[in-house]
């Protein structure tokens, strides 16, 4: 094996081209992998893989068909056992090449930022979002610092994490790849010592070999609980600490434009929601029991994260000076604990001149009980911990922390208050007791089946056969009444029981565990009213907001009229209190009409929905169901947000972060930071400097192009008899 010094050349920024840097990263990883391959499978296999690599590289550089034929002959000459090893070797080599490129991109971004203070990708602010550059750009557009600060602290970006089967790389491998990136980055640091280099080289070899020895494919499909745990791991590893770190950067950016005030800890700048365990549209494995489990699991994880952090905070809060309000509270709590049977050694060890620790000690006890109660409910369905011993609302949790913050500020210790305590307050405000709010998604036809069973059981006909007007009339009559609609004698199929049991789970769990109830394939006001009625009938005292999802081309075209009819209903206007959320789907619309036509219709639909909402005095929040690939609505986040129609965001944005791109968005600390920055900066810029509407002649041209594009797309996808066979061949 070549020595690490022979492989590494310490590079001073600016003295070696970026392409040379990439070659060096790539060469080191390739050399280490081939050494490992030789140790595991012998020199002959190493030489064969290396020869294949060189032939493939020669073909790639010259497009020499003779080289391609030579490579084919080499591979077909292998016996089955060796072919598996060679195939897996090339798969790992490609992954390592991607890692080298990622590290090189990160290096390039750092160097360009240091040299120019500029954006790294395409050297253009149109493809990236730096929060400080965005603030400065808004000032150049004649916005005052106070206007920018006011808009920023009142905006909300809700990132909705979804589980998705197209994330094919196992979490175990993703973590190993992350450690390889870290090793490679540290190896090329300017101030690294020879001993450090040797140790990092050994760690690099270890991680490369561990990745090679790890099965790339899941042999069993993950359960919804598995998907939830995988999604929650991102909170534990990057998001939990990433949010306060990002908000501190926002504070710094504000200070640099003349605002000496921090973003309030309870400003809803970033929120998180999830579909993992709540998205039952077409997924029979997402049962009511699964929904219950993932909610309790998330609450247990949240309490555990807080609990592990509160002790560090207590260690820091050793100050004795406090205001009278906190001193009285601390003494009262100390006396109560002393008189209690469970007065423990922990409380005896807190001196009377450490009032902050006394207050936080009580928070610590309640967090422990909150975690244990969720754990017991998750494992057995019952808990012996009473509710008065746990936190049941985020306001309960925030109150003692706010008291500590006020006291520190009152005593001249504002810099201390704005340290770890402020970070903790921001985490509590962002994640609450539930960690993430779970959205429930169900297809509209499933609700129709339930109501049809009810109306037939009541002997008043078939709900399915009724006109839309009759459905609305009956639904509103029941919503305005007080008598129960059905009892335990209602005949239930398995599907009907599943829908009703889901509503029952929602009624039993804490309200803050849930976000929205999303109806896919919504086409009419009755779809929304049906969910409102079922929520009431199943005992949900604080109903979830109901969100219609419009996906296919025809549904998008009809969405404005459908929403207008919904807003025309007085009962519903009173119910929503001037706020409505509407979800638009990118994936199904693209599959239905083609990418161009779908994108244009999504644009027009949003414009019309905003007009309808303004007519009825309703504030509309658009929920964008974007995927990772371009065909599913993916693309550069900054451009995607800035390209939305004027008046459609206004500081309120919900957007899915699909399972296949969660790793790219939150897999590492710097990725988490950039993701939060992109969404926050672009949402602010869109709200304060909205894009210009298309000219009338552009609209006419786009309408004509969309008609032609849809016809051409459907002629291939839906009418070409060989398309399915072709698609299976190229995608298998």
Predicted confidence at residue 633, as pLDDT, reads 58
Last residue of a domain, one of 362, 388, 408: 408
Reference 205, options 89, 87, 35; nearest CA is: 35
- φ and ψ at residue 517, rounded to 5 degrees: -105, 110
Lowest-pLDDT choice from 47-61, 245-259, 638-652, 685-699:
47-61
Question: What is the CATH number for 377?
Answer: 1.20.1440.90
* Average pLDDT score over residue span 434-440: 96
- pLDDT tens per residue, range 42-81: 888 888 988 888 888 877 666 777 878 888 888 888 888 8
Reference 335, options 363, 362, 308; nearest CA is: 362
Question: Does residue 463 share a domain with residue 393?
Answer: no
Reference 628, options 583, 675, 577; nearest CA is: 675
Sign of CA dihedral 615, 618, 621, 625: negative
Q: Is position 91 within any domain? A: yes
- pLDDT tens per residue, range 265-276: 999 999 999 999
Q: Give the CA distances from residue 191 to residues 9, 187, 196, 356, in Å, rounded to whole numbers and listed in that order.
A: 12, 10, 10, 41
Question: Domain range spanning residue 368?
Answer: 294-333+347-408
pLDDT band at 336 (very low <50, low <70, confident <90, very high): low
* Average pLDDT score over residue span 393-401: 96
Q: 22: which 2 tokens?
A: 């990439």
Residue listed under structure tokens 């790389």: 169
Predicted confidence at residue 626, as pLDDT, reads 80
Reference 233, options 285, 291, 297, 279; nearest CA is: 297
Predicted confidence at residue 350, as pLDDT, reads 54
- 550 pLDDT more than 60: yes
Lowest-pLDDT choice from 42-51, 98-107, 529-538:
98-107
- Helices 145-153, 240-255: axis angle to 10 degrees equals 160
- pLDDT tens per residue, range 191-214: 788 888 889 889 989 999 998 888
Q: Is position 279 within any domain? A: no
* Average pLDDT score over residue span 134-147: 94
In angstroms, the CA 474 to CA 453 distance is 15
* SS3 state of residue 161: strand
Q: How far apart are the first and last CA of the chain?
A: 39
Last residue of a domain, one of 183, 215, 247: 215
User: Is residue 170 within 8 Å of residue 214, measured between CB atoms?
Assistant: yes
pTM for the model stands at 0.84
Residue listed under structure tokens 């929060």: 131
* Average pLDDT score over residue span 254-279: 94
- Helices 43-62, 80-116: axis angle to 10 degrees equals 60
Q: Is position 32 within any domain? A: yes
* pLDDT higher at 448 or 4: 448
DSSP 342: T
Sign of CA dihedral 306, 308, 309, 315: positive
Q: Is position 149 within any domain? A: no
Last residue of a domain, one of 408, 434, 458: 408
Predicted confidence at residue 437, as pLDDT, reads 96
Question: Does residue 451 share a domain with residue 384?
Answer: no
* pLDDT higher at 366 or 635: 366
Question: Does residue 404 share a domain with residue 299?
Answer: yes
* pLDDT higher at 368 or 730: 368
Chain-centroid distance, C-alpha 289: 23
Residues annotated as catalytic (active site), given as ranges: 164, 591
Question: Does residue 534 share a domain with residue 488?
Answer: yes
* SS3 state of residue 443: strand
Please tell me the total count of domains within the chain: 3
Reference 473, options 538, 543, 526; nearest CA is: 526
User: Is residue 157 within 8 Å of residue 243, measured between CB atoms?
Assistant: no
* pLDDT higher at 9 or 514: 514
3-state secondary structure 122-185: CCCCCCCCCHHHHHHHHHHCCCCHHHHHHHHHCCEEEEEECCCCCCCCCHHHHHHHHHHHHHHH
- 538 pLDDT more than 70: yes
Q: Is position 183 within any domain? A: yes
Q: Is position 82 within any domain? A: yes
Quote helix, strand, coil % in the chain, to nearest 5. Answer: 65, 5, 30
Question: Does residue 542 share a domain with residue 489?
Answer: yes
Q: Give the CA distances from residue 194 to residues 6, 8, 182, 484, 499, in Å, rounded to whole numbers and listed in that order.
A: 12, 11, 17, 77, 63
Question: Does residue 299 share a domain with residue 206?
Answer: no
In angstroms, the CA 360 to CA 136 distance is 40
Question: Does residue 403 share a domain with residue 317?
Answer: yes
Q: Give the CA distances from residue 701 to residues 432, 600, 646, 694, in Å, rounded to whole numbers and listed in that order.
A: 48, 11, 20, 11
Provide the total of helices (H) and of strands (E) in the chain, helices listed first: 31, 8
Q: Is position 210 within any domain? A: yes
Question: Does residue 469 share a domain with residue 386?
Answer: no
Question: Does residue 315 share a domain with residue 382?
Answer: yes
Question: Does residue 469 share a domain with residue 399?
Answer: no
pLDDT band at 351 (very low <50, low <70, confident <90, very high): low
- pLDDT tens per residue, range 469-508: 999 999 999 999 888 888 889 999 999 999 999 999 999 9
Q: Give the CA distances from residue 282 to residues 159, 166, 295, 442, in Å, rounded to whole numbers and listed in that order.
A: 22, 16, 20, 8
> What is the DSSP track for 610-661?
HHHHHHTT-EEEEEEE--SSGGGT-S-HHHHHHTSPTTS-TTEEEEEE-GGG
Beta bridge partners of 580: 620
Predicted confidence at residue 196, as pLDDT, reads 87
- φ and ψ at residue 141, rounded to 5 degrees: -95, 20
Helix (H) or strand (E) segment spanning residue 174: helix 171-187
Reference 186, options 175, 176, 201; nearest CA is: 201
- pLDDT tens per residue, range 605-641: 999 999 999 999 999 999 998 866 555 656 678 888 8
Question: Does residue 177 share a domain with residue 91?
Answer: yes
Q: Is position 253 within any domain? A: no
Q: 161: which 2 tokens?
A: 């994490």
Predicted confidence at residue 1, as pLDDT, reads 43
Lowest-pLDDT choice from 130-144, 162-176, 639-653:
162-176
Question: Does residue 501 share a domain with residue 404?
Answer: no
């Amino acid at each position: 094996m070549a020595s690490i010094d022979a492989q590494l050349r310490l590079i001073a920024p600016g003295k070696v081209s970026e392409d040379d840097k990439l070659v060096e990263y790539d060469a080191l990883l390739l050399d280490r992998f081939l050494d490992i391959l030789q140790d595991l499978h012998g020199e002959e296999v190493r030489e064969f893989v290396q020869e294949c690599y060189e032939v493939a590289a020669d073909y790639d550089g010259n497009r020499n068909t003779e080289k391609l034929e030579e490579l084919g002959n080499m591979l077909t000459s292998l016996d089955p056992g060796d072919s598996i090893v060679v195939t897996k070797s090339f798969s790992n080599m490609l992954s390592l090449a991607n890692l080298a490129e990622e590290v090189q991109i990160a290096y390039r971004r750092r160097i360009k930022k240091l040299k120019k203070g500029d954006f790294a990708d395409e050297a253009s602010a149109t493809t990236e979002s730096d929060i400080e550059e965005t603030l400065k750009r808004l000032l150049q557009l004649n916005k005052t610092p106070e206007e920018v600060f006011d808009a920023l602290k009142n905006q909300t970006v809700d990132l909705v994490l979804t589980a998705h089967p197209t994330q094919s790389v196992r979490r175990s491998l993703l973590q190993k790849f992350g450690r390889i990136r870290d090793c490679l980055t540290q190896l090329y640091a300017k101030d690294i010592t020879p001993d450090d280099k040797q140790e990092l080289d050994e760690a690099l070899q270890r991680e490369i070999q561990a990745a090679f020895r790890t099965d790339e494919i899941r042999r069993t499909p993950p359960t919804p609980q598995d998907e939830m745990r995988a999604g929650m791991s991102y909170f534990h590893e990057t998001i939990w600490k990433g949010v306060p770190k990002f908000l501190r950067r926002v504070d710094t950016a504000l200070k640099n434009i003349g605002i000496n005030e921090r973003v309030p800890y309870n400003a809803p700048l970033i929120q998180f929601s999830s579909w993992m365990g709540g998205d039952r549209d077409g997924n029979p494995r997402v049962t009511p029991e699964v929904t219950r489990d993932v909610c309790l699991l998330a609450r247990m994880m949240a309490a555990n994260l807080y609990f592990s952090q509160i002790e560090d905070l207590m260690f820091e809060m050793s100050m004795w000076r406090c205001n009278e309000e906190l001193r009285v509270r601390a003494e009262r709590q100390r006396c109560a604990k002393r008189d209690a049977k469970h007065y423990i050694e922990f409380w005896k060890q807190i001196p009377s001149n450490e009032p902050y620790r006394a207050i936080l000690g009580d928070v610590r006890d309640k967090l422990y009980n909150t975690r244990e109660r969720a754990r017991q409910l998750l494992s057995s369905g019952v808990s012996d911990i009473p509710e008065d011993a746990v936190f049941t609302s985020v306001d309960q949790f925030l109150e003692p922390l706010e008291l500590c913050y006020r006291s520190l500020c009152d005593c001249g210790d504002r810099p201390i208050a704005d340290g770890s305590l402020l970070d903790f307050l921001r985490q509590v405000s962002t994640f609450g007791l539930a960690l993430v709010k779970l959205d429930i998604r169900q297809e509209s036809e499933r609700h129709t089946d339930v109501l049809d069973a009810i109306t037939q059981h009541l002997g008043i006909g078939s709900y399915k056969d009724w006109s839309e007007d009759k459905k609305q009339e009956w639904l509103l009559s029941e919503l305005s009444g007080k008598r129960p609609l059905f009892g335990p004698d209602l005949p239930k199929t398995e599907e009907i029981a599943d829908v009703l049991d889901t509503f029952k789970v929602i009624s039993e769990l804490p309200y803050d565990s849930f976000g929205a109830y999303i109806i896919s394939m919504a086409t009419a006001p009755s779809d929304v009213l049906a969910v409102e009625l079922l929520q009431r009938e199943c005992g949900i005292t604080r109903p979830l907001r109901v969100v219609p999802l419009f996906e296919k081309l025809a549904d998008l075209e009809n969405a404005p009229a459908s929403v207008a009819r919904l807003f025309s209903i007085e009962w519903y206007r009173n119910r929503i209190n001037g706020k409505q959320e509407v979800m638009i789907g990118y994936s199904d619309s693209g599959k239905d009409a083609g990418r161009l036509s779908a994108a244009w219709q999504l644009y027009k639909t949003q414009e019309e929905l905003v007009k309808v909402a303004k007519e009825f005095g309703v504030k509309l929040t658009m929920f964008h169901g974007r995927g990772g690939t371009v065909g599913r609505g993916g693309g550069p986040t900054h451009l995607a947000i800035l390209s939305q129609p004027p008046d459609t965001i206004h500081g309120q944005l919900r957007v899915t972060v699909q399972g296949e791109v969660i790793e790219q968005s939150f897999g590492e600390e710097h990725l988490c930071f950039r993701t939060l920055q992109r969404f926050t900066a672009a949402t602010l810029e869109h709200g304060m400097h909205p894009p210009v509407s298309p000219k009338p002649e552009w609209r006419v041209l786009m309408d004509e192009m969309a008609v032609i594009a849809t016809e051409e797309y459907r002629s291939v996808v839906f009418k070409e008899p060989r398309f399915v066979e072709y698609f299976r061949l190229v995608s298998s």
